[in-house]
Structure 1
C-alpha cells in the first residue's frame, strides 16, 4: 500500500508523472515503479529528483523495514552534476598562475599585472564562445572548461616570454618605454608563431565526427587568438602605465641588472644541448616514451555509475535493481520505428528483438511524435562489452525486418559515442 501511495503521489510533483505499474522482483524483496521527468527547463530535473527523494524518505520513515531509492538516468545525472565548475576552475587557474609568477619573478606585485591581463582574456574568450554558440556552433560544458584552462595557460606562457625579455631590456635602457618596445619587438614573432601552431592544431578538430569536438576546435582557436592579442596589446599597455615599480624588490636598471641578464642554469642547459644534441634527443625521447607507457593501461568506461559518487542515492538504487531485477531494467533501449509502420510489422520487429541473444524483454512503448516504439531490456549489464555486441546485433537484426529502424536509449548513445571517438 505504501508503494502504491508513493506512485500516486508522484503526480503532484511538478515535471514528474508515474509511468506504468508497480513491478515486483521474482523474490518479492523489491518493487519498482517508473517516473517520467518532463521538465520545462533543465534545472527542473534536479528539483523534481529532490522532491521525489523527499517523498520517498517520508514514506520509508513511516514504514519500518521499508527503504527507497531514486535511481535511473535522470537521478544519475543529478548526482553527477557538480554545479557550475567554471567559477572554481577559473579561481584554481588564477591561483596556479599566481604561484608560478611568484616563484619565477619573486615579486609580490608583478604577478598581478599578467594575471589581470589573462583574466580579461578569459572573459573576452568566453564572450566569443557565447557568440559562436549563438551562431549555431555546438559549445558544450567541457568546451567551456577547456577554454578557461587553455586561455589562462597560453596567456601565462606568452606573458612569461614578454616579461623575461622586458626585464632584460630594462637592464639596458633607462627609458622603460624603449625597453618595452624592444621587448615587444623581439618576442612578438615567437609568441605569434606559438599561437599560430596551437590555433592550427585546434582547427583540425573541425573534421571530427562528434559535434562537441567540432565545436571545441573554433572555440579553443578563438581563445588562443584572444590570448595572443591580449598579451601583445593589453599587457604591454599595463606595463607601460605601471612603470618599473611592480618588479620590486628586484628592479633591473642599467648598470645593476639584478639577475635579469644572468641565466646560468639555462646557459648550462643550452651548452649541453649544443655539445651533445644526439644524446640529449635520445634521453628526452626515452623519458617521454617511458612517461607515455601509462596510456597502455588506460581504461575508459561508458557506465554512468563510474562518474557518480559511490555513496549517492542513485548508485544505491542501481545496486538494489541489480540484485533483484534483470540487468537491463535500469537502462532500457528504445527502438523507434518509421512513421506509418503497421501492426504486423511492429509485431514482427518485436519478435525479432526477442530472438537477439542477451535480450531479456521487448514490449511496446509509448508513441513518440507519430512513431511507434519498443522498449527493450537487456539480460546483461547495459554498458559492458556484451551489451555493445547485443546492441549491434539488434540493429542488424531489426534492419533486416524493416529498414529505417533506430535503436536508441542511453546505452546505445554511449556505445555510439565510444565507437565514434575511438575511430
Structure 2
C-alpha cells in the first residue's frame, strides 16, 4: 500500500459479571489515556502508535471490553539508547498502568506476544549461562573425580564462548549476519556442548598417552596428532551442516545457521590451542588423586566398556539386529508427531496468552489478529463481498485508517490506488481451522477477483511460514546429508563406512522424532511442534550424532592398521567408550538446559537433541555401529587399500 504494516496489539478487560455503565466509562477513559503512558527518554506510547482513535468495544455477553492498538513498525524498530525495544517497553508500561488502575486487563495480539518474547530474550544469556555452567561443572566433576581438572575444560570452553560472542557481535554489527534471540540462545548451549565434548576427547587421550610416554610434552605431541583429525572433522561436520541452513528462505533459519557455525569453530580453536597449553602447564598433578603414571596399566580394558566390547565381539550380528529392531520400533511413532505449528509458543501462560484466551471467551476468536487483504481500490467492495461470504469469517470491513475499522461516513483509506479490507476469523488465529480458512480465502479471491489481491496478517504469515518450512526441509536435508557424507569419505578414505554411519544417524534421528511424538503428546502435553522443528532437529542430531561416530571410527581405523579391523573395532570401543559416553551426557545435559526457558520451540529442540544424542551415544555408537563394522570386517574400508592390506587381513585374526 505504499506504507508499512502496523503491529497489532489487543487490550482486553474482563469482569466476572456484566459491565456496569460506570465500569465501561472508567475502562474507556483508561483506553483513551494509553497514548499518554510514559516511556523512557521522555517519550510516550503515542510516539510509537499509528495515529488512530482508540475505542473500546463491549462484548456481546457484556463481560469484557477490547480495544485494538496499532504500533508503527518502523518507529518501534528503533531501540532506545539502552538497547531496549519500544514495543516491549510500551507493552510493559501499559500492563503496569493497568495494574495501578486496578483493572483486570491484559495486552495480547502480536504486540503482546512480542513484548513477552523480547522480555524473555533480554535475559536469555544470563539464565542459560548460569544453568549451563552448573550442569557442565557437576558432570565434569563426576567424570574426572578430581578437585581441579574439571575447571580447566570449563575455563577453556568459557573462553571459546567469549570468542564466539565477540565474533558474532562483529559480524552482526557489520550486517554480515542477523542475530535473533533464537540463535543467541542456541549459540551458548552449542559452544558449551561441543567445546566440552572436544575437551573430554583431548583430555582422555592425553591421560592415555601419559601412561605411554614419560615426558609430558611427548605425550601431548602424540595426543594432538591423534585427536586433531577427529576433532577437526567433527567441527567441520557440525559447522558445515549448520551453514546449510543458509539455504533456508526463512530469516530466522538463515541467521541461526551461520551464527552457530561460528560458535563451533571458536570452540574448536579454544580447545586445540588453550587446552593443550593449560594441560602442559600443570602436567600429571592436574589429574590428582588418580595420576596416570608412566607404564601403568590402562584401566579401560578392565572396565565396563571392555566387557561391552567383548560382548559385541562374541555375537556381533545379534547385537546390531536387535539394536536395529529397537530403533525401528521407536521410528514407528514418528507418524504421530504433530509438526503443524503452535497455537502458543510459550510453556507458561504469559500475559499475552491470557489476553488471547480472554478475547476468545468473549469475542470472535480471531478478533485480536485480523486478516489484512490488500487490493486495488476499485475492487474493495468485491473483495469485501467475497470475504463476508466465506465460512470461517466472523466479520469484515474496509479499512478507513481507524484501529477499530470503519463504517458509515468514514471513507476508505487509499494509498497509491491500493486499499485494504480487514477481516476477523471465527477461529483462533493460530489454529489449523484458521489456516484452512486463509487458504480457502486466498483461492476464492484469486479466482473471483484477481491474482493481485494479497492476503496477509498473523494467520497468513503462519501459512506462508509452514510452506517455507516444508520447502526448507525438502531442500536442506539432502544437502546436509550429501555434505556430511563427503566429509566422512575424505576422513575415513572409504565409501562403505560413511554410508553406514549416515544410515545409522538418520535412523537414530527418525527414532528420536518418534520418541518426541510420544513425549510431546502424552507427557509434556504440548499442543504440537513448530513447523521448523524437524529441520532443526535433523540438522543438530545428524551433525552432532555423526560426531561420536567420527570419534569412534577414526580410532577404529587407527587400530585397524595395527591389529586388524575386527580386533581394532573392539579395542576402539574399549578405549573410547567412556569418554564418548561422557561427551554424550554433557551435550545432552547442555541442550536440556534450553528447557529452563518458557518457549516451547526451544524446549522441544532441547529435548530432541538431548534424547537423540543419548540414543546415538548409548545404542547406535556403542552397539549397532561397532557390531556392524565387526560383522562386515575389513570390507568396511572399501575402496581404500586398508581392505586389502595383508597386515590386517581378517583371515589372520
Quick one: which of 8, 11, 18 aligns to 2:35?
11
On the 8 A contact 2:246/2:255 being kept in 1, the answer is yes
Distance 1:276 1:221 in 2: 40
Q: How does 1:189-204 map to 2 (within 5 A)?
A: 189-204=229-244
On the 8 A contact 1:335/1:375 being kept in 2, the answer is yes
Q: Which residue of 1 aligns with 2:56?
A: 22
- CA gap of 1:396–1:136, structure 2 versus 1, over 3 A, is farther
Q: Deviations over 1:69-117 (max 9, x none)?
A: 3332222333354242122212222222222222222111001111111
**3-state SS of paired residue (2:395):** strand
Is 1:316 matched with 2:354? yes
- CA gap of 1:211–1:44, structure 2 versus 1, over 3 A, is closer
Higher relative contact order (CA 8 A, sep 6+): 2
Distance 1:188 1:245 in 2: 24
Tell me the CA shift for residue 262 of structure 1. Answer: 4.5
**3-state SS of paired residue (1:26):** coil
Q: Which residue of 1 aligns with 2:440?
A: 393
On the 8 A contact 2:36/2:45 being kept in 1, the answer is no
TM-score between both structures, scaled by the size of structure 2: 0.59
Quick one: which of 143, 148, 168 aligns to 1:104?
143
**3-state SS of paired residue (1:335):** strand
Distance 2:333 2:99 in 1: 45
Is 1:265 matched with 2:265? no
Quick one: which of 266, 269, 274 aligns to 1:229?
269
Tell me the CA shift for residue 306 of structure 1. Answer: 5.0
Quick one: which of 37, 49, 56 aligns to 2:98?
56
Tell me the CA shift for residue 292 of structure 1. Answer: 4.4
Q: Which residue of 2 aligns with 1:72?
A: 109
Distance 1:57 1:249 in 2: 59
Distance 1:247 1:369 in 2: 73
Quick one: which of 155, 162, 167 aligns to 2:195?
155
TM-score between both structures, scaled by the size of structure 1: 0.88
Tell me the CA shift for residue 362 of structure 1. Answer: 1.6
Q: Which residue of 2 aligns with 1:382?
A: 429
Q: How does 1:73-152 map to 2 (within 5 A)?
A: 73-80=110-117, 81-82=119-120, 83-133=122-172, 134-152=174-192
Distance 1:129 1:294 in 2: 39
Q: Which residue of 1 aligns with 2:540?
A: none
Distance 1:117 1:89 in 2: 18
The Cα RMSD (Å) is: 2.5
Structure 1: stretches of 5+ with no match in the other structure:
62-66
**3-state SS of paired residue (2:61):** coil
Quick one: which of 212, 216, 232 aligns to 2:252?
212
Q: Deviations over 1:32-78 (max 9, x none)?
A: 222233434352223222322233334446xxxxx433332222333
- CA gap of 1:373–1:60, structure 2 versus 1, over 3 A, is same
On the 8 A contact 1:22/1:32 being kept in 2, the answer is yes
Tell me the CA shift for residue 378 of structure 1. Answer: 0.8
Quick one: which of 215, 224, 228 aligns to 1:188?
228
- CA gap of 1:19–1:396, structure 2 versus 1, over 3 A, is farther
